[in-house]
Amino acid sequence: MSAFTSLKVLVLMGGDSREREISLLSGAAVARALAGLGHVVEARTLAAVGDVLAMDDLRDWDVVFPALHGGMGEDGRLQALLDVLGVPYALSGHLASAVAMDKAATKRILRSAGIPTPDWLLVTPDRDGVAWPDRDQLLKRVDAELRWPVVVKPNADGSSVGVRIVAQPSEFAAAFDEAAAGGRDVLLETYVPGRELTAAILLGRRLPLVEIVPREGFYDFGHKYTAGASDYLCPAPVHSPLYERLSGDARRAYDLLGCRGVARVDFRLDGNRYSCLEVNTIPGMTDTSLVPKAAAAVGIPFAALVDDLCRDGVRRGVNR
């Protein structure tokens, strides 16, 4: 058995996205676990991703663990800065991060590879970032190209922030305005009924599927981060041929986007038909998060999970 080698790990958390509070929880959990193993760890809270440019000690650390969810912490810009600065980090590089954060771009790649994903429309503001397409025209397109109910959500946010399931046209405007707040691109997507499943890929290895069963409603922000609001079945009770196809497509999505470390791929399952919704390159690492549940199901404790991710970042160095 090889001797334990301590690493110097800088955990970055916070940021200015709408997922800041969840980032703080993830970062604190990662830091505690790594320190418990004997690593030298500092958890550093950022007001904004650009704060790293003022850090003169970045090269003193063996590896950075980015625990920022959403915004510039997960969309490739933080990763690109670390690349330019020559600082090794865990998880996916800047290209995979940028593509995965753009839900519409991810869906184009999935569909081109034959991985099923719900039909969608991407709605963007005009060049001045102010005006949006006429709502009546949008509703006509939803009627013609999608079907009701329709899911309305920001194209580049996570944690189900700003996501609404709209059952009828009269509910559309309020949901659209919430998703578009701040000039965000909006994704309109055909709602897929059925079961909520997620597949975690760890260092290229398929972990068991997890089924999420909200106690009521759908798996929104509150259900994700409120203990007891949802039940979790791992491994998910899905019959073998379908289980293998879905899990295999999760691994293909991981590879197609060029993900590294760990990623979570979310699905909806309606009978024997599944649809891939999105890929998350910095999945949550809180007490209710899904990747740690899947890892624990195959005997990988949380501390070992984040240790493996840090060591993978060190091995890959700055050649992303």
Catalytic site residue from 20, 164, 260, 264: 264
Is residue 111 flagged as an active site residue? no
Catalytic site residue from 225, 268, 289, 313: 225
Is residue 272 flagged as an active site residue? no
CA-CA distance, 215 to 207, in Å (whole number)? Answer: 24
Nearest to 263 by CA among 197, 198, 212, 189: 198
Is residue 23 flagged as an active site residue? no
Is residue 312 flagged as an active site residue? no
Is residue 21 flagged as an active site residue? no
Is residue 74 flagged as an active site residue? no
Is residue 280 flagged as an active site residue? yes
Catalytic site residue from 15, 280, 312, 320: 280
Catalytic site residue from 17, 159, 230, 275: 159
> b or e along 151-163 (b: 16 or more beta carbons within 10 Å of the residue's beta carbon)?
bbbbbbbbbbbbb
Are the C-beta atoms of residues 19 and 69 closer than 8 Å to each other?
Answer: yes
Are the C-beta atoms of residues 184 and 132 closer than 8 Å to each other?
Answer: no
CA-CA distance, 133 to 92, in Å (whole number)? Answer: 34
Catalytic site residue from 284, 289, 307, 312: 284
Catalytic site residue from 75, 102, 157, 278: 278
Catalytic site residue from 14, 17, 18, 19: 19
Alpha-helical regions (H) of 86-197: 94-101, 103-112, 135-145, 172-179
Element (H, E) at 151: strand 150-154
Catalytic site residue from 266, 307, 312, 320: 266
Is residue 42 flagged as an active site residue? no
Q: Hey, which residues are catalytic here?
A: 19, 159, 225, 264, 266, 278, 280, 284
